[in-house]
Amino acid sequence: MTARAFKLNDIPDLSGKVAIVTGASSGIGLETAYLLARRNCTVYIAARNPEKADRAIADIQRRLFPATQGVGEIIYHHLDLLDLKGVYESAHRFLRDHDRLDILVANAGTAFESIDQLSVDGYDRSFATNHLGHFAFITTLLPLLERTSGINGGDVRVVVTSSMAYQFAGNNGIDFDSIRVKSEGKSILDMKAAGRRYGRSKMANILFTQELSKRLEARGISGIRVNTCHPGSVGDTGLGANDALGIPQWFNGMVHKAVGTVSFTPLEGAMTQIYLSTSKTVVEKDIRGKFYVPVMTWSMRYHYSTEYDISRALKRGDHEKLWNYSETALREALQR
């Protein structure tokens, strides 16, 4: 897009559309769900904690009140990304019960997880949550996304929330060898390694997006646009606020408050994925397989979203290897 601000009022009317936002029980995902519902989209909050999801739904409804017309329904859908078989079943429940899905925002994420625990299927927890779970969820929902593109004028959007932290993965691309390695380490000194693991999962988000987009194009499916983004540096969310590395809660809280004063609000952080999942410009300019970042004004507020060139950073291109690795992980989980 040109350097024109993308504002709340630029979000088009989404009447009749259905969206899923993963990790919408807090932070950037909650605001994404709010902004979609505010424009009359039916929104499924895909989350693992029903109480937290209910609180998120109540919060969104309270903010939309007293409007009863022109706002969408908000519904809980159970999804725990740490369990691949469960993810597959969650996607199948959605396939069974719904006849359309226009927007899928794969926003859920975790950072700075300890490595003394692996996922249900035995993978690094950041990689499992941020990439493998979303790989299983999105690829299982593909038939419904394809069907929807046939009935909504070829305008289905998939947006995967990545991060500029993909750079923490290092220059050698995805380190596949350590994804299943557990360690006894649990200390603040593990921070750097935890950052690298988070970076690897966020690099996987980008590679997956580009590979999915390429595969859809190769199959002649032009009505599904898949993109990825960095939401900006966003304060006051739950990211990294777990105590997995033994970091005291009061310290985490302090860091979050400090970051919050010099970063985007969660609502501003939602704007890049909202832009990619709703803006008409995405269709007009046929934006697909791209990595978008927010641009801020001099006052450090969200202004607009623009493409960020990652071609050099990703020149090793583990795209196909990652796809095969993820397919195998899902197949093995389903055989258990």
Shortest distance, CB of residue 28 to ligand NAP, whole angstroms?
A: 4
Q: Which of 202, 292, 302, 304 is catalytic?
A: 202
**Is the Cβ–Cβ distance between 62 and 74 less than 8 Å?**
no
Q: Which of 44, 88, 198, 325 is catalytic?
A: 198
For residues 193 and 111, give the distance between their C-alpha atoms in angstroms, rounded to a whole number. Answer: 11
Shortest distance, CB of residue 15 to ligand NAP, whole angstroms?
A: 26
**Is the Cβ–Cβ distance between 103 and 157 less than 8 Å?**
yes
CA trace torsion 299, 303, 309, 314 (10° rounding): 80
> In the structure, how many helices (H) and strands (E) does the chain have?
10, 8
Task: State whether residue 266 is helix, strand or coil.
Answer: helix
Shortest distance, CB of residue 105 to ligand NAP, whole angstroms?
A: 10
Where along the sequence are the contacts to ligand NAP (CB under 6 A)?
23, 25-29, 47-49, 52, 79-82, 107-110, 129, 161, 163, 230-231, 233-234, 237-239
Nearer to ligand NAP, 121 or 318 (CB): 121
Shortest distance, CB of residue 201 to ligand NAP, whole angstroms?
A: 8
Shortest distance, CB of residue 276 to ligand NAP, whole angstroms?
A: 13
Nearer to ligand NAP, 40 or 163 (CB): 163
Q: Is 127 exposed, middle or buried (0-12, 13-18, 19+ CB in 10 A)?
A: buried
Identify the CA nearest to 240 among candidates 262, 268, 259. Answer: 259
For residues 206 and 235, give the distance between their C-alpha atoms in angstroms, rounded to a whole number. Answer: 23
The C-alpha angle 44, 46, 51, rounded to 5 degrees, equals 100
For residues 119 and 81, give the distance between their C-alpha atoms in angstroms, rounded to a whole number. Answer: 9
- Count, residues in the chain: 336
Side by side, the strands of the sheet bearing 103-106 are 74-78, 42-47, 18-22, 103-106, 156-161, 224-229, 291-296, 302-307
Identify the CA nearest to 144 among candidates 291, 44, 75, 26. Answer: 44
Shortest distance, CB of residue 29 to ligand NAP, whole angstroms?
A: 5
Nearer to ligand NAP, 82 or 142 (CB): 82
Nearer to ligand NAP, 149 or 210 (CB): 210
For residues 199 and 58, give the distance between their C-alpha atoms in angstroms, rounded to a whole number. Answer: 33
Shortest distance, CB of residue 284 to ligand NAP, whole angstroms?
A: 27
Is 123 a known active-site residue? Answer: no
Nearer to ligand NAP, 72 or 266 (CB): 266
Nearer to ligand NAP, 72 or 238 (CB): 238
Is 202 a known active-site residue? Answer: yes
Omega before 66 within 30 of 0, i.e. cis: yes
Nearer to ligand NAP, 161 or 213 (CB): 161
For residues 151 and 265, give the distance between their C-alpha atoms in angstroms, rounded to a whole number. Answer: 35
User: So which residues are the catalytic ones?
Assistant: 198, 202
